[in-house]
Amino acid sequence: MTVKITRRTALAGAAALPLAGAATSTHAASHAAAAPSVAARRFALGDMSVTALLDGSFAREGVKDIFGGGASDADFTRVSEENFIPADSAQFYFTPTLVDTGGELVLFDTGLGQGGIQTALNEVGVSPDDINVVVLTHMHPDHIGGLMTEGAPTFANARYVTAAQEYDFWSGMEAGNRVGDLVASNVTPLADKTSFIEDGGAVAPGVTAMAAFGHTPGHMAYMLESGGKQMVLIADLANHYVWSFAHPEWEVSFDTDKAMATESRRRILGMLAADKLPMLGYHMPFPAAGFVDTRGEGFRFVPVSYQLNG
């Protein structure tokens, strides 16, 4: 059988060759360079870049007691089943976030202190020494654990920003309080490099604090704005992507002031839904970013796909 090669198929064949070659060499080049990052995901926001850094993740049981305070067992199970997740366990995620404002590298929270954040930063070519500002959204151990490495500041050249009422609350604890003791070892030594921020205060141009009290006394969310785009880092405003969104009134054992935490959840999730703004939450499933929709009396977290690829 002979194959008649027309001008059209010959051209198509010729055109295909360089493409195939390019694809092969690109593939080879990516292999020669770093492996694709699994612990970091970069998003574009105007002229800023926002990088979710996976510090750690593990499974935990007993989640009704943690996330379902005030809910009946039947309601907790029903909401879980409606969202295709088990009602008796959850995967926890810890996601510090790096914002490159164009002028400064601002790191929001520091992880558990087990080295995960250094690995994630390394995957995007950033050294801890490059960080200009460390923002502590609040002072729970999973957010301040990475501040020190073997007794020395992990981010040697950084200044620090947090809320005064957060620092005052935890540094005023009696010795023996687990969080207070960690604040004493990890945060207090950095006090002379720390500035305190209030609702509406700016960390850097385009990075503004939003009071989100309740989870802790000085818990802050942060609004990022660049090139007409906005995104909110909600930190621990909502600690689980299903239960805390579907029922903001369900009490979370980690929240210091349950009623105030619920009020903050309703207010800020409501704003995100109304304005259709993207958000990134420290404990959302990695890469931790998404959108908020209303659903019934509560909300629904819609994970990001490619909307923020830039």
> Would you say 100 or 142 has its CB closer to Zn ion?
142
Among the residue ranges 60-68, 196-204, 233-241, 258-266, the one whose residues contact Zn ion (CB under 5 A): 233-241
From CA 268, how far away is CA 215, in angstroms rounded? 13
Cα atoms in the 13 Å half-sphere on the side-chain side of 15: 6
Q: Please report how close the Cβ of residue 212 comes to Zn ion at its closest, in angstroms.
A: 13
Q: Please report how close the Cβ of residue 254 comes to Zn ion at its closest, in angstroms.
A: 7
How many residues at the interface with Zn ion, by CB under 5 A?
3
> Would you say 148 or 284 has its CB closer to Zn ion?
284
Q: Please report how close the Cβ of residue 214 comes to Zn ion at its closest, in angstroms.
A: 13
Q: Where do the H-state alpha helices sit in 145-301?
A: 164-171, 178-186, 243-246, 258-275
> Would you say 132 or 165 has its CB closer to Zn ion?
165
Query: Binding to Zn ion (CB under 5 A): which residues in 270-309?
Result: none
Tokens representing residue 46 in the block: 């105007």
Nearest one of 85, 131, 141 to 111, comparing CA atoms: 141
Q: Please report how close the Cβ of residue 237 comes to Zn ion at its closest, in angstroms.
A: 10
> Would you say 109 or 123 has its CB closer to Zn ion?
109
Q: List the one residue from 55, 100, 236, 255 that touches Zn ion (CB under 5 A).
A: 236
CA distance readout (Å), 75 to 79, 96, 219, 303:
6, 32, 29, 23
> Would you say 43 or 282 has its CB closer to Zn ion?
282
> Would you say 140 or 247 has its CB closer to Zn ion?
140
Among the residue ranges 47-55, 136-144, 150-158, 180-188, the one whose residues contact Zn ion (CB under 5 A): 136-144
> Would you say 92 or 196 has its CB closer to Zn ion?
92
> Would you say 226 or 301 has its CB closer to Zn ion?
301
Q: Please report how close the Cβ of residue 57 comes to Zn ion at its closest, in angstroms.
A: 13
Under the criterion CB under 5 A, does residue 55 sit at the interface with Zn ion?
Answer: no
Q: Please report how close the Cβ of residue 186 comes to Zn ion at its closest, in angstroms.
A: 15
Q: Please report how close the Cβ of residue 244 comes to Zn ion at its closest, in angstroms.
A: 12
Under the criterion CB under 5 A, does residue 142 sit at the interface with Zn ion?
Answer: yes
Under the criterion CB under 5 A, does residue 123 sit at the interface with Zn ion?
Answer: no
Give the full edge-to-edge strand order of the sheet including 202-204.
Answer: 202-204, 207-211, 220-226, 229-235, 279-281, 289-295, 298-303
- Side chain identity, residue 268: I
Phi-psi region of 25 (alpha: psi -120 to 50; beta: other; left: phi over 0): alpha
Q: Please report how close the Cβ of residue 19 comes to Zn ion at its closest, in angstroms.
A: 47
From CA 106, how far away is CA 100, in angstroms rounded? 6
Residues 207/109, Cβ–Cβ less than 8 Å:
no
CA distance readout (Å), 211 to 110, 221, 226, 294, 301:
20, 6, 20, 22, 21
Residues that bind Zn ion (CB under 5 A): 140, 142, 236
